[in-house]
Amino acid sequence: MHTVDDLISDGVQGRYVLVRADFNVPLDGYTITDDGRIRAALPTITKLVGAGARVLVMAHLGRPKGGEPPGRDPLSTLTPVAGRLGQLIDDRVSLAEDVVGQSARDVAQDVKVGGVALLANVRCDPRETGTPAERDALATELAELVPGGAFVSDGFGVVHREQASVYEIARKLPAYGGDLVARETEVLRRLTGDPARPYVVILGGSKVSDKLAVLTNLLPKVDTLLVGGAMCFTFLAAQGYDVGGSKLESDQIDTCRDLLAKYADTLVLPSDVVAASEFSADADTRTVPADQIPAGWLGLDVGPATVAAFGSHLADAATVFWNGPMGVFEMAPFAAGTTGVAEAVASSSAFSVIGGGDSASAIRAAGLDEERFGHISTGGGASLEFLEGKELPGIAVLEEGP
């Protein structure tokens, strides 16, 4: 893969560079609640700005309906992103009102040398995720915004998607990997190559079915796999426990039973949970053994004994990968499990990789210093697909070379 450093060494002074970033940040109205993905894009953007490039950034936010006006829905407009990016680079970032229309052409033409501008939410154009022919047509129009330009892919959170701004565009322009994509790829190859041992993986989240592929791919390769989150209740049910009203995938019980039998020395389940009378921050709660959840109650977090047990495995680890919270960490009564495991990972001397998404948000919500972790990924889905052994289209196309 050719990198942004290769591009800069060839000279970008006054040249257009089209950057695909991942700015799919969480919002409360128009307020960004976690700007981690914007900050993760800064090294590549500031390198290009410092080298005198004319930087045009494309990104998505949320799941806008195809053809929806980019500024109408507060959940899909990139207005708060443009504002925050401008604050971080200490310069105004113009925002186009469309993806490839007249406003985008005007904004692209006006971007100054060493300046940054942002296209409207690229997913507001339905061709972004359309048929191959539709994606190709959009990529052609995106390339026309940057005559004589180059493409830098730095949105790791979307490299597992065949989309116009990720895949097809890399065949329209000389294509390079940004610092973030290069670092993410390097780290994940370290995990799938010959990681230092003991190698401990922590998986949480809501569904076994969402993590089944990565479970089956990793279990033969890791020393210990710790299971938390709502997905643990399907495993507990497979052991014959009554999990009350906890989230349960009945169709996955047999699969979990088979995994427990085959990997009894590798899989570690919670020994206690925080149960609640209902799914609410105001519910009655109690910490109970994992096999004694009251009838009708829901398990919403792992308990303190589980955190301690998980922590003992993490203390001895040399490599750690974590994806998925241990409970409903957004609600204060059910955040302690995720926070406790995060602290145990941070305190470990292991090379630790946080697999993006809610895990990364939970670390920031807990106020933990990000420098205490080896790497915090920006792409939960992309990280998991890489660890499943899948080829990521957005990486494969970059490795074809410019």
Domain limits, the chain: 4-183, 194-387
Structure tokens at 138: 């959009």
Q: Which residue numbers belong to the known binding site for substrate?
A: 22-24, 37, 60-63, 123, 161
Question: Is 372 annotated as catalytic?
Answer: no
Q: Which one is catalytic: 207, 221, 257, 364? A: 207
Residues 113, 134 contacting (CB under 8 angstroms): no
The two domains 4-183 and 194-387 share their CATH topology (first three levels equal):
yes
- Residue labelled with tokens 């190559």: 193
Confidence of residue 104 (pLDDT cuts 50, 70, 90): very high
pLDDT for residue 378 is more than 90: no
Instruction: Tell me what pLDDT residue 72 has.
Output: 52
Q: Which residue numbers belong to the known binding site?
A: 22-24, 37, 60-63, 123, 161, 211, 299, 330, 356-359
Task: Using DSSP, state whether 217 is helix, strand or coil.
Answer: helix
Q: Which CATH superfamily is domain 4-183 in?
A: Phosphoglycerate kinase, N-terminal domain (3.40.50.1260)
Confidence of residue 370 (pLDDT cuts 50, 70, 90): confident
Q: Which one is catalytic: 52, 71, 86, 381? A: 381
Biggest alpha carbon–alpha carbon distance for the chain: 67
The residue with greater pLDDT, 120 or 211, is: 120
Structure tokens at 400: 């074809």
CA distance 149 to 290: 58
CATH topology of domain 194-387: Rossmann fold (3.40.50)
Task: Using DSSP, state whether 190 is helix, strand or coil.
Answer: helix
Question: Is 37 annotated as catalytic?
Answer: yes
- Close Cβ partners of 24 (under 8 Å, ≥ 6 residues apart): 37, 59, 60, 61, 62, 157
- Close Cβ partners of 17 (under 8 Å, ≥ 6 residues apart): 7, 48, 53, 54, 55, 56, 146, 149, 150, 151, 152
Q: Which one is catalytic: 20, 37, 54, 172? A: 37
Confidence of residue 367 (pLDDT cuts 50, 70, 90): confident
Instruction: Tell me what pLDDT residue 387 has.
Output: 87
Q: Which one is catalytic: 303, 355, 357, 379? A: 357
Range scoring the smallest mean pLDDT among 82-96, 198-212, 328-342, 348-362 = 348-362
Q: Hey, which residues does 299 pair with through a beta bridge?
A: 275
Total Cβ atoms within 10 A of residue 216: 15
Over pLDDT 70: what percentage of the chain? 97
Question: Is 207 annotated as catalytic?
Answer: yes
Question: Is 357 annotated as catalytic?
Answer: yes
DSSP state, 80?
H
